[in-house]
Structure 1
Amino acid sequence: MRWNQQGRWLPVVLAASVWSACGPASPPAPEPDSQGVVSAGLAELVVNGDFSGGSVAPWWSGPNTQSVVENGRLRVNVTGNPANPWDAPMGQDGIALVNGQSYTLAFTASASAPVTVRVTAQLGTAPYTAPLDQRITLDGTPRAFSFPFTSNLGTTAGQVTFQLGGAGAFSAFLDNVSLSTGGGGGGGPLGMTSGFYVDPDSNPAVWVRNNGWDSRAAGIQSAIASKAGAKWFGNWSGDIASAVSSYVTAADAADKLPVLVAYNIPGRDCGSHSGGGAGSPEAYRTWISAFVTGLGNRPAVVIIEPDAVAQLDCLPDDTERNTRLGLLRYATEQLRDRAPNTWAYLDGGNAGWIAADTMAQRLESAGARNIRGFALNVSNYYLTSASTAYGAAVNSALNTRYAYTRPFVVDTSRNGNGHNGDWCNPAGRKLGALSQAGGGAEMLLWVKVPGDSDGNCGIAPNTPAGTFSPDIATRLISGT
């Protein structure tokens, strides 16, 4: 085998044959059809992922790595001082991937020193397309990682790699490595929980508790307060690490999946109804880092900064636009590296706002490739069908320009009657489909809290943004 200048491992047939002779044989790979798509193979694609037999094969080591099975797990020693992640690789070849198929790469890992390393599921030859490309942080505590993804290629020449260079000399420890089919609706945090979490202290729930005498309370409790939705976190949340930790801890104790919204970007909402946010870029980095600290390893879904990408146009110059994009990239990197059981989605506007190819460029610049995907229609009213068509167009542009796609989620909290051309407390809107996996997108979610005002406008001219209005809520229930 040899390592090329692009940092990709090129297999040599002879070496692969030696491994097959010395260790467990790889399962026969399915043949691609006339369109180059591989039919579905075995559920488990990795061979010898638990290293229980004491053999390393068919895992290979590359430059600057030496692998040995020790105490039932793989120890990979990184030698020298390799500059780049791909300068110290190890992995397994012969992975068959199906275009459009969902997978989950899972493993347990630790290291002899705190390091950040790269993990991929990728094509083993040029152009080395990587449907999964993650960076993770390791230390002395063994942790379970799980990364669902959808393959955007069909091949029998895929590979799983752990790229360990760029962090000096250390030892990485791997066990229970698995690449299995599935992941979209049943893997990741969805597969770790028994459903979505209902916030017991949402604005509608608090209003119902405080106004049980009101004739509208029973209907709001039944249709809204008892349903799963997102909790928004911003500069009103106090100690953000503690606030986030308390919320995800409660959800975890109930075996439910919480949905959180990070909403504190400087210059939030272009200074409009929901204006505010962190006072400086430095303050935001501190805040979002603490937000991620609160998540820890517990399962969660996070929507990153509604409107922040779409509203780049309201910023006065390229310097401020680039500053915002840098902050969003930082947020995606923090979530990628420090919240292994969180699916994070960068807000991507809505179907009637930014052209799909432009949004694709912005999502790439804001770090969408670092995380699970993007979110659409947050706090808006477009029908799910319009949002899914827009999401497909964004993914087409991402694939054309950058050779990857991402799953997306759609906010259905208020889209039951579609969009009427207005966005600020318009009349005649209605609750949409409940939070669920699938439904046309990866998930349909109630991201905006139904009944919370968009601002002093529309049918609630005297209700500030984020304040619950029982009148808005009852109109959403009836669709009037």
Structure 2
Amino acid sequence: MQLRDIASSPSRRLSLLLAAALVSACGPSEPAAPVDSDESTGVSTAALTELVSNGNFNSGTVTPWWSGANTQSRVENGRLRVDVGGGTANPWDALIGQSGIPLVSGRAYTLAFTASASVSTTVRVTVQLESAPYTAVFDRQVTFDGTSRRFTFPFTSSLATQAGQVTFQFGGRPASLSAFLDDVSLTTENGSGGGGPLAMTSGFYIDPNSNPANWVRANSGDSRAARIQASIANNMTARWFAAWSGNITTAVSSFVAAADAADKLPVLVAYNIPGRDCGSHSGGGAGTPDAYRTWISAFASAIGNRPAVVIIEPDAVAQLDCLANDAERQTRISLIRYATEQFRDRAPNTWAYLDAGNALWINADTMAQRLENMGVRNVRGFALNVSNFYTTAQSASYAGNVNASLSSRYGYTKPFVVDTSRNGNGSNGEWCNPAGRRIGTTNQVGVGGAEMTLWIKVPGDSDGQCGVGPNSPAGTFMPDVALRMIDGL
């Protein structure tokens, strides 16, 4: 339903530092001495990045915190109330948490929170991997009682991962109780990498060789050039990589190196899954599963330790149904999962997002199951509305439904990003070069519930030979359509 094509990466300056990250459940590691007071631990608060989202519960909701099977959580009087069932054997049998925290090996962090409980109880508090083996970089037994206290723990991470989590584990006791949490915080110094790739850079990378930028250079005397430069080419759009990129190691490494040299964050799209776009306008992809594994592994390795954002295989998850038989579907599931593992293992400072279609395409429960099966746990989160037109509000509502399903079925939620490159007028129900669409809000952090809004599709690039671009193959830049997008015509 949504077409992907060749795109480049103009990037818009973003002077905001990303102060939101997400987290979820269980593990062991070296504890550091707590400070049981309201005082600072001496870490300079002027240079900190906050990694916990909704730690003060001022939103009135618990999202993105999740609860385990024997806990129920709600916001009460501006703090999180956790009702814990009794009769559990292990601490992790009754827990709450937040997932998706990036950790850098050797980096210093500070975990802090205010807590009390209806009865005196020992709570296990961890910062750890969100999946087996649940290795913890911080693991402390903390006593909660009827007096609200501030606890502060500095520690150093011994792991590099994008899939960390914070947990409070209440299980292993016979009686039920209620615990209360507020002002939960996990901080690290800005620029250290602990705040994710945006905190490691000074903004998004604007590619001087994007399709619109190249067209403007080649047509500087054209009356349309100045408006296209100002409204499109001067904004970040993602660079798409596939067979047209040539040697993938060289192509990715060169692009990321140019961004790194400018102290900017590149946004890339991996778009080479076998059977891409169900053979439609953007059909193609790697010739065999083995060829894809080699390609995607090289893609991730070419990024290496440099900061980046990657969108993994637009449409591949949502288009699972178009494959001919179950064997082909299982192959795609294994390939997408392999891709998530490669970015997890080979690109530790990359936030990768697995494409999850759009707001009106796949039932949220079905999408949650597919995301789980295809390895969304291994990466930062999921992407919505890539190359489509639905509003950010529609996408955020759908993301909420997907996360609700992930939470109820699998015990975690994930951050999401939204493609706003063409959603300024919303959708008219068409997906292939429809008339009357408009460029949307430029690249920002923390808008409408999304972790980031990004221009993933290049405004003016064709979806295929259709709509207002009937003679333009997918990926071709169309200056007249670009002006339509600027004016909403």
Give the TM-score, by structure 1 length: 0.69
Change in CA separation of 1:182 and 1:384 when aligned onto 2, cut-off 3 Å: farther
The alpha carbon displacement at 1:467 in A equals 0.5
Moved over 6 A (4+): 8-11, 40-44, 128-131
**Residue 447 (structure 2) aligns with:** 439
SS in structure 1 opposite 2:433?
A: coil
Pairing of 1:10-409 with structure 2 (within 5 A) = 25-28=33-36, 104-108=102-106, 132-133=130-131, 147=161, 154=168, 180=187, 187-409=195-417
Across the aligned residues of Structure 1 and Structure 2, the Cα RMSD in angstroms comes to 3.5
Provide, for residues 176-222 of structure 1, a one-character-per-residue CA deviation record: whole Å limited to 9, x for no partner: xx963799x98110100010011110100000000111110000000
The alpha carbon displacement at 1:276 in A equals 0.3
> For residues 310 and 353 of structure 1, what CA distance do their matches in structure 2 show?
8
The number of equivalent residue pairs is 362
Change in CA separation of 1:389 and 1:333 when aligned onto 2, cut-off 3 Å: same
Q: In 1, are the aligned partners of 2:268 and 2:309 still within 8 Å (CA)?
A: yes
Provide, for residues 243-290 of structure 1, a one-character-per-residue CA deviation record: whole Å limited to 9, x for no partner: 000000000000100000000000000000000000000100011011
> For residues 341 and 206 of structure 1, what CA distance do their matches in structure 2 show?
29
> For residues 311 and 9 of structure 1, what CA distance do their matches in structure 2 show?
36
Task: Read off the aligned partner of 2:197 and give its amino acid letter.
Answer: P
Larger displacement relative to structure 2 (217-226 or 145-154): 145-154
Q: In 2, are the aligned partners of 1:346 and 1:374 still within 8 Å (CA)?
A: yes
| % identity of equivalent residues | 62
Larger displacement relative to structure 2 (432-441 or 201-210): 432-441
> For residues 99 and 323 of structure 2, what CA distance do their matches in structure 1 show?
39
**Residue 462 (structure 1) aligns with:** 471
Task: Read off the aligned partner of 1:347 and give its amino acid letter.
Answer: D
Provide, for residues 25-84 of structure 1, a one-character-per-residue CA deviation record: whole Å limited to 9, x for no partner: 333399xxxxxxxxx99798xxxxxxxxxxxxxxxxxxxxxxxxxxxxxxxxxxxxxxxx
Change in CA separation of 1:42 and 1:266 when aligned onto 2, cut-off 3 Å: farther
Q: In 1, are the aligned partners of 2:188 and 2:194 still within 8 Å (CA)?
A: no
> For residues 43 and 319 of structure 1, what CA distance do their matches in structure 2 show?
57
Ranked by relative contact order (alpha carbons within 8 Å, sequence separation 6 or more), the top structure is: 2
Q: In 1, are the aligned partners of 2:387 and 2:457 still within 8 Å (CA)?
A: yes
Provide, for residues 417-466 of structure 1, a one-character-per-residue CA deviation record: whole Å limited to 9, x for no partner: 00101000000000001112111200000000110000000001000001
Task: Read off the aligned partner of 1:460 and give its amino acid letter.
Answer: G
> For residues 373 and 132 of structure 2, what CA distance do their matches in structure 1 show?
17
> For residues 246 and 212 of structure 1, what CA distance do their matches in structure 2 show?
27
Q: In 2, are the aligned partners of 1:335 and 1:344 still within 8 Å (CA)?
A: yes
